[in-house]
Amino acid sequence: MNATSPIIDLREVRYTVGGRVIFDGLDMQILPGQVTAVMGPSGTGKTTLLRLITGQATADAGSIDVGGVAVVGASRSQVYALRQRMGMLFQNGALLTDISVFENVAFPLREHTRLPERLIRQLVLTKLQAVGLRGAAGLMPAELSGGMARRVALARAIVMDPQILLYDEPFVGLDPISMGVILRLIRRFNDALGLTSIVVSHDVHEITAVADRVFLLSGGRVVAQGTPQELHDSPSDIVKQFVGGLADGPVPFHYPAPDYFEELLARDGGRFA
Amino acid sequence: MIRDFLDSLSESIERLGDTVRFLARILAQVPSALLRPQLIFDQIYNAGALSLVIIMLSGLFVGMVLGLQGYDLLQRFGSEDALGTAAAIGLVRELGPVVTALLFAGRAGTALASEIGLMRATDQLSAMEMMAVDPVRRVVVPRFVGGVIAMPLLAAIFSMIGIYGAQLVGVQVMHVDAGSFWSQMQASVELRDVNEGIVKSVVFGIACSLIAVYQGYHSEPTAEGVGTATTRTVVTSAVIVLFLDYLITAFFLK
């Protein structure tokens, strides 16, 4: 694989849930070593995209290739082997609540390796130091703030030295300081550890500050892609609406509904009777 | 109304089939889970040791009631000396396993279901899957095995304390002769009776633990979903335990 061939390659992906089409004809190529942002209005299936890449959900049609492994149609053990090369940061951290911060970070090591205790200790403390929480190693997850929990989860995600790191809405509900910390860590880990990072988010300004490349999803496909600057200068209506945060545009303000006046004046209660 | 009934019947059968498949998946993972005994010990502690107080208290009271009722009934026939036998057989064969199973479902089963359900709701199970750790092997199997081991031990303790409770009321309060209380019990409780109790408590342990982990693992990832899973654990366990109790009793009396 040379430096310019994509490490994650989605082609013509179609995915439906209960008859609702989430993706149709989704094409996306993600280059190694870059921070790629995936943005889009809520409900466009950004999280679902991560589930497809990690094999937690299976596409109905199309191909998904991650690091040379075809995810669609892979066996359970192939998917598990692939996941050992990936780390994922969940929206709320998803730390195991019955064990301490230290044990949470040590968890993948204990499950997958037979390293001596001394080495596990060193690895865990190194990763916790990298996210600035070595001092919190003895705390339980319930004692952490939202931002700290996410940093611990980040330490856990990199403890197995993955090639690919996926972030699912890493900024939701964080104060500006914690948000800045996470942003800095995303960039730093990507460059220092030689990772490929994919950040799903709708915090336009934060994420465009750190991303090398941005994909904008809407209506089940990629509607725009490019560097943050290219997106910022884009003449496309939907890109303008999203980047500018406009309430109405190609993405409508109103959920589809019957005629407003007719519904207000309906005598028998209409749809809600 | 008939259609409603048929619908719910077919849904129940579907769920039963689903549960059996889940059991097969659990059993396939049991050998590899036994390689990590510490995880199972933790769960025996959770399901067993933490249920001890409620099991012992309930056993004592059930035994004491048995002492009173048994004495009242037996003395009408002038055979109050048989109180020891009556209490022991009633407890070992019937009340020990059944009441323990019901308490176990209420104490340990609900704890298991809500714990696993909350892990599902807070993405902890997904996080494990993402770390290439099978949550069934890591979370479900140790809890299931722990429950299956703990339940017969609890039933045995229940029966033992129950017999002490019956003795307390029968011998100490009602003045049944202590010698005949114990010697009649020793003479007429057979191995068959004890076996019946053991079989029941093992079967109930499997049923209650399976229902709890199944409900937790398959709960909707919402606050309401976890609540529903917990309720279902208790209700389903109670009905299934009483139903199985009839089957096993009929089998042993055949």
pLDDT score, position A273: 63
Q: Identify the residue among A111, A117, A156, A172 best suited for mutation to test binding to B, counting B beta carbons within 10 A and taking the highest.
A: A111
Q: Which residues of chain A have a CB within 8 Å of the CB of B123? A: 90-92, 94
Closest residue in B to A154 (Cα–Cα): B127
Distances in whole angstroms, Cα of residue B220 to Cα of each of B23, B118, B209, B249: 20, 10, 19, 36
- From CA A51, how far away is CA B130, in angstroms rounded? 9
Q: How many CA atoms lie within 13 A of A28 on its CB side?
A: 31
Strands A35-39, A20-30: pairing is unpaired
- Tell whether the model's pLDDT for residue B94 goes beyond 50: yes
Say whether residue A144 is in contact with chain B using an 8 A CB cutoff.
no
- Nearest alpha carbon to residue A132 among A194, A170, A184: A184
For range A100-112, the mean pLDDT: 93
Q: How far is B254 from chain A (nearest CA, A)?
A: 47
For range A101-107, the mean pLDDT: 94
Backbone angles phi, psi at B213, to 5 degrees: -70, -35
- From CA A42, how far away is CA A217, in angstroms rounded? 10
For range A227-244, the mean pLDDT: 79
- From CA B205, how far away is CA B201, in angstroms rounded? 6
- From CA A255, how far away is CA B39, in angstroms rounded? 49
Q: pTM for the full model?
A: 0.84
Structure tokens at B35: 């390689």
For range A58-75, the mean pLDDT: 87
pLDDT score, position A73: 84
Rounded to the nearest 10 degrees, the angle between the axes of helix B141-167 and helix B96-104 is 130
Secondary structure letter of residue B50 according to DSSP: G
Contacts of A262 (CB under 8 A, 6+ apart): none
Residue extents of the structural domains in chain B: 41-253
pLDDT score, position A1: 43
pLDDT score, position B86: 92
Share of chain A above pLDDT 90, in %: 25
Q: Which residues of chain A have a CB within 8 Å of the CB of B132? A: 80-81, 83-84, 108, 111-112
Contacts of A116 (CB under 8 A, 6+ apart): none
Q: Identify the residue among B123, B131, B143 best suited for mutation to test binding to A, counting A beta carbons within 10 A and taking the highest.
A: B131
- From CA A8, how far away is CA A166, in angstroms rounded? 12
Q: What is the DSSP string of A76-141?
A: HHHHHHHHTTEEEE-TT----TTS-HHHHHHHHHHHH----HHHHHHHHHHHHHHTT-GGGTTS-G
B127·A96 Cβ contact <8 A: yes
Q: Which residues of chain A have a CB within 8 Å of the CB of B131? A: 83, 107-108, 111-112, 156, 160
C-alpha of B166 from chain center: 22
Q: What is the DSSP string of A160-187?
A: T--SEEEEESTTTT--HHHHHHHHHHHH
pLDDT score, position B84: 92
Structure tokens at B33: 């889970």
- From CA A210, how far away is CA A35, in angstroms rounded? 7
Contacts of B67 (CB under 8 A, 6+ apart): B83, B87, B165, B166, B167, B168, B169, B170, B173, B174
Backbone angles phi, psi at B18, to 5 degrees: -60, -45
Q: Which residues of chain B have a CB within 8 Å of the CB of A83? A: 129-132
For range B5-24, the mean pLDDT: 89
- From CA A257, how far away is CA A272, in angstroms rounded? 13
Which residue among A81, A88, A95 sits closest to B130, beta carbon to beta carbon?
Answer: A88
- From CA B201, how far away is CA B203, in angstroms rounded? 6
Q: A214 in helix, strand or coil?
A: strand
Return the number of other C-beta atoms located less than 10 Å from residue B184's C-beta: 20
Q: Which band of pLDDT confidence, cut at 50, 70 and 90, is reported for residue A270? A: low
For range A63-87, the mean pLDDT: 87
